[in-house]
Amino acid sequence: MLIDTHAHLDDKKFDEDREDVISRAGAAGVALIINAACDINSSEKAITLAQNYAQIYAAVGIHPHDAKDAGKDYLQKLIELSRNEKVVAIGEIGLDYYYDFSPRPVQQKIFREQLSLAKELNLPVIIHNRDAHKDVLEILHEEGLGPAGGVMHCFSGSWEVARECLNLGMYISFAGPVTFQNAKKLKEVAAKVPVDKILAETDCPYLTPHPHRGKRNEPANVRFVVQQIAELKGLNPDDMENIILKNAKKLFSL
């Protein structure tokens, strides 16, 4: 049994064939999917999906790209949305200094506020970090993580960054890039992360793993990520699947 711990099935790229995508995931052995949100609207869509499909769970939150449009009452809205029983995390939240779609001080403020909200709600956090390792870690140290912990999604940093996340008690999630043939450093990081702290995801519709790179991504492809991690760990893929499922169930209380 596979789990895709980070998908964006509410994305408009799935508007034409969402149902087919979800049934293909089931046919490929993906028994559970966590749908991560980007803003209030996509948080609501994630919840609707989770209500329509038993195997889908929702995260609610404001992505750093959308931090500038969060609105004054966004925390109150997230609190209300999080009351739904299928909401299992706050996410995705964090910092993105690659695109800088929102001013950095605004990204930082919204990130801090949501970290504190997650603690208050006792929910784990799903963290997005692109080219902002230093500030993400600094803010995590300052704000602290609640007992529910969190995951560094689509991990792209060095072993030093991974080690600091592990010291904070976080899980490290790998996506399509770990399967890319030129991803030597990332493969080295994945080989070092303890198996009981590893998760796998697609981040679909983006970051399609090898050998489907270039096409739209979907949850069924999480298999390729798990196979790659298994190979790096010297485990058979079935065992790796079970370990990752167990890790995810623990983090998200599934």
Cβ-based nearer residue to Ni ion, 203 or 241: 203
| 6 neighbors 175 (Cβ within 8 angstroms) | yes
Neighbours of 61 (CB within 10 A): 35
Q: Tell me how far, at minimum, the Cβ of 203 lies from Ni ion, in Å.
A: 5
Chain mean position to CA 239: 22
Check residue 164 for interaction with Ni ion (CB under 5 A).
no
Given the complex with Ni ion, which of 130 and 133 has the nearer CB atom? 130
Q: Which residue number, 96 or 203, has a Cβ lying nearer to Ni ion? A: 203
Closest approach, Cβ 35 to Ni ion, in A, equals 10
Q: Which residue number is nearest to Ni ion in terms of Cβ?
A: 203
Nearer Cβ to Ni ion (14/233): 14
Taking the complex as a whole, the smallest distance from the CB of residue 159 to Ni ion amounts, in Å, to: 23
- CA–chain centroid gap for 237, Å, is 21
CB-wise, 7 or 189, nearer to Ni ion?
A: 7
CA of 177: how far to CAs of 34, 157, 186, 197, 209, in Å? 19, 12, 8, 18, 6
What is the total count of residues that contact Ni ion (CB under 5 A)?
Answer: 1
Q: Give whole-number Cα distances, 97 to 65, 90, 135, 205, in Å.
A: 10, 20, 10, 21
CB 129 within 8 A of CB 151: no
Instruction: Please state the closest distance from residue 238 (CB atom) to Ni ion, in A.
Output: 27
To Ni ion, the closest distance from the beta carbon of 18 in angstroms equals 17
For residues 70 and 230, which CB has a smaller minimum distance to Ni ion in the complex? 70
Q: How far is the CB of 236 from Ni ion (least distance, A)?
A: 29
Please give the residues from 180 up to 239 whose contact with Ni ion meets the rule CB under 5 A. Answer: 203
Would you say 38 and 70 are in contact if contact means Cβ atoms under 8 Å apart?
Answer: no
Q: In whole angstroms, how close is the CB of 126 to Ni ion at the nearest point?
A: 8
Query: Is 131 or 231 the residue whose CB approaches Ni ion more closely?
Result: 131
Residues found near Ni ion in the complex (CB under 5 A):
203
